[in-house]
Chain A
Amino acid sequence: MIDPEQDDNRKRRRQGVFSIIGLTIAVMLGTLAVFTGSVAAQDPAATSAQVVAPVAAPVLKIDTGDTAWVLTSTALVLAMTMPGLALFYGGLVRSKNVLSTIMQSVVILCLVSLLWILVGYSLAFGPDKGGLIGGLEWMGLSGVGSEPHPVYGPTIPHQVFMLFQLMFAAITPALITGAVAERMKFSALLLFAALWSLVIYTPVAHWIWGGGWLGKMGALDFAGGAVVHISSGVSALVCAIILGKRKGHGADYMAPHNLPFTLLGTGLLWFGWFGFNAGSALGANGLAGSTFLATHAAAATAALVWMGVEWAHRGKPTVLGLASGAVAGLATVTPASGYIGPFSAIVIGVFAGILCYFAVVWKGRMGYDDSLDVVGIHGVGGVFGILATGLLASKAINAAGADGLLFGNAGQLGIQAIMVVAVALFSVVGTWVILKVVDAAVGLRVSPEDESTGLDLSQHNERAYS
């Protein structure tokens, strides 16, 4: 079973990859050490005292309720990635690939966590450079302490805000793994996730949430319809096309091997999404409550609608349909959740259930193998959700937002559309470039034999079920 020559080449290539990764980490840590060393040499307290302004800077008071809620939400969003997404995706693949699927989500959580702390947060939320990206002033969390930031969570410690955002940064590339399930090389996935997180996620997060050009334009994305769902959904499409279809796609039996896992994952995703959306209110207050309500209403509605449409279309209601509908509803309502009331949320749920159902069913006609429907659910859901925000947002719900078309402000829809196009285009081009780089470095796909054996054994030497 093991070809000695091939094994040798693999070992050599592996050593090469590890050397590169090790070297990169060493360089990063070295730079960091030098940088934080030089920053620590200054006294931050002294610096701010030097900026003697006639008007005293507002004293930001930490609110314990707000902080407790955002800390909890942070943990909730972590649970969405691990084990939520891990099991959701894990149950949908064949048993020979379940461990590799879970591994991809978990390792991305770990990798992005580290990158975010080292440099990602600074790039996404650091002091704005030309509306496009944050600076490196906060590299290594320099200057990010317990003191609240006036804009990013004025009543919670800055570090808590950073942590909350970390979980968003982690789950977004993990979503993409669904499109490349059962055929992507592990080393390629690691490299891809690291690059995508730094090169695609941080700029997009900066544009919309970090003081960049889209945020300044008034684009509304309460909890990540564009930052998370459109970016990952569109990137997933590029990945699915470039990687190509799974071997035997269309002919072999590739049904989910463990739907109970998938439903367990769905439960954790739904549970965690309250942290994702309601946590984005950054406070334990009425807005968090209304966001929670909108989130739940949309999820429940979309689940029922998807189930109903499938029942009519295919003759039987399926549990996978119910679960998929719920996730579609949750994804679609994400950008709007903090700006809408429950009935708008129900409307969004109805459209999410219908649109995403047909997006998934018609995927077959498009000819690409997005194994776990990242495009149909997150991509389509994200786009519709962002546009729906332009229709249904209301200042009566959230005065810090804006009114949508249905509340008399036609301009918002245009701004939302610009956000959709900008994020989608950037994600498509950026992902394409990253894939080419990764392909040149380590190759994207496993060999056909490894694909047949299954990734658990071929990539990880492990078997899930004995």
Chain B
Amino acid sequence: MKMIEAIVKPFKLDEVKDALLEMGVQGMTVTEVKGFGRQKGHKETYRGQEYTIEFVPKVKIEVAVTDAQMPRVIETITRAAKTGSIGDGKIFVRDLTAAVRIRTGETGETAL
């Protein structure tokens, strides 16, 4: 099993969520994060005091998938989240050693 971590632009969240649901992914966890890669931040001015904000707000989507699903999930997220401009985000994949459905106690791929 794999844990896919995708960091995307906040306004792309709905599109990515819909695309994932459409292809059969059952659920996900979403967090609001901030970060930067190559995308530049922005300036704020308050009564003459200027601040340069380097961090850019992003959204992190985490989905636990089977090894078989992984390539299609990556492709779906990429397609849905892409705008073509700097700051589109990144996808990271981690190995998932175990998974449990709390309500039923199912383990492994049936828990996903």
Contacts and interface: CB of A to CB of B under 8 A. Distances in A.
Interface of A: 253-256, 314, 316, 318, 320-321, 324, 360-364, 373
A268 to B, nearest CB: 20
Contact of B46 (A255, A362, A363, A364): A255
Contacts of B24: none
A324 B47 CA distance: 8
B43 to A, nearest CB: 9
Contacts of A256: 46
B51 A255 contact: yes
B93 to A, nearest CB: 34
A320 B47 contact: yes
A360 B47 contact: yes
**How extensive is the interface on chain B, given as a class?**
under 10
A316 B44 CA distance: 10
Contacts of B53: 253
B110 interface: no
B42 to A, nearest CB: 12
Interface in B44-58: 44-49, 51, 53
B49 A364 contact: yes
B47 A255 contact: no
A367 to B, nearest CB: 14
A254 B47 CA distance: 12
A360 B46 CA distance: 10
| For the complex of A and B, 10 pairs with smallest distance between CB atoms | A361-B48, A360-B47, A255-B46, A314-B45, A360-B48, A255-B51, A320-B46, A253-B51, A256-B46, A255-B44
Contacts of A361: 47-48
Interface in B38-96: 44-49, 51, 53
Contact of A373 (B44, B45, B47, B51): B47
Contacts of B48: 314, 360-364
Nearest to A372: B47
Contacts of A254: 49
A236 to B, nearest CB: 15
Contacts of B45: 314, 316, 318
A290 B53 CA distance: 47
Contacts of B49: 254-255, 364
A373 B47 CA distance: 9
A204 B47 CA distance: 31
A321 B47 contact: yes
Contacts of B46: 255-256, 318, 320
From B46, B47, B48, B51, name the one whose CB has the most chain A CB atoms within 10 angstroms.
Answer: B47
B62 to A, nearest CB: 25
A254 B46 CA distance: 10
A253 B48 CA distance: 14
Contacts of A321: 47
A450 B46 CA distance: 25
A326 B3 CA distance: 54
Contacts of A363: 48
B99 to A, nearest CB: 32
Contacts of A316: 45
Contacts of B47: 320-321, 324, 360-361, 373
A401 to B, nearest CB: 34
A324 B45 CA distance: 13
Contacts of B51: 253, 255
B50 to A, nearest CB: 8
Interface in B1-53: 44-49, 51, 53
A361 B46 CA distance: 10
Contacts of A362: 48
A280 B70 CA distance: 75
Nearest to A360: B47
